[in-house]
A = this chain, B = another copy of it.
Amino acid sequence: MDDVTAAALSKIPIFNGLEPDVLDKIASHAHQNTYKKGKILFIHGDIAEHYYIVKSGHVKLFRETLDGTQTVIDVLSENDIFGHSLLFEDNRYPSSAEIAQTGVIISLPLSDLREEMYKNNDIAVNLLRAITLQLNHKDRELEHRFTQSATQRIGCFLLRQALKDKTGRPVITLPYDKMLLAARLGMQPETFSRALSRLKKKTGMKIEGACIHLDTLDRLSTYTCSSCSVKFPCKDLINKS
């Protein structure tokens, strides 16, 4: 349990442009901690008391049904924030959170955010900006699940990953293991494996473990984006939170 500096927080979008004293106050109640893979941060239905920022590693948000089936809602990476949408509601987490890859997580009390939001319009507006963005992403997600094939969903993910790394960079690194990626994209590991090798044939990319090499994104994008409502260099889709 280490302390967190205001400077570290100031990089997070929802704390943009805040007065130093506000930032200090928020930072004074923040704690950061290293969690190992497999650690459960909270379970669906728990009373929500904190929201979190991922400093490193990955966090899986998911929900389980009575029969044990697990749906992955999202997988979060560096500087992503989660739990901040529980300002109202009945204050129970709508999903469970598990550390998917060992890393550092900052936890902050929701009560602070709630209090601040009523007093400080900047925070309210920042939150609004973050959450409307998220909402739009969810809509896209829904469209993709519906219109794209498993193979296209992988291609779409790879393209956005490539755009995020560096524009047109021909080396894509899978950010986490394939099982998690498959779950994140709403398919079985077996399907993922088969779909990836189909993509390989169709686009001529070379796969070496977690590294994927390709000469140009063209073949990938024409195959993938044919059944999407957004024209290819879909820059508005690459940033989250």
> Which residues of A line the B interface, CB within 8 A?
44, 63-67, 69, 71, 73, 85-90, 94-95, 117-121, 124-125, 127-129, 131-136, 138-143, 145-147, 186, 225-229, 236
Contacts and interface: CB of A to CB of B under 8 A. Distances in A.
Contact of A226 (B66, B87, B228): B66
A145 B147 contact: no
Contacts of A142: 71, 73, 138, 141-142, 145
A128 B147 CA distance: 30
A103 to B, nearest CB: 23
Contacts of A89: 132-133, 136, 236
A88 B129 contact: yes
Given A124-B125, A125-B117, A132-B85, A226 B67 contact: yes
Contacts of A145: 142, 145-146
Contact of A147 (B71, B127, B226): B71
11 contacts: A63-B143, A65-B227, A73-B142, A85-B132, A86-B132, A124-B124, A124-B128, A127-B128, A128-B131, A141-B142, A145-B145
B66 A139 contact: no
Given A132-B85, A133-B88, A139 B94 contact: yes
Contacts of A225: 66
A39 B90 CA distance: 38
Nearest to A229: B63
A133 B88 CA distance: 8
A64 B229 contact: yes
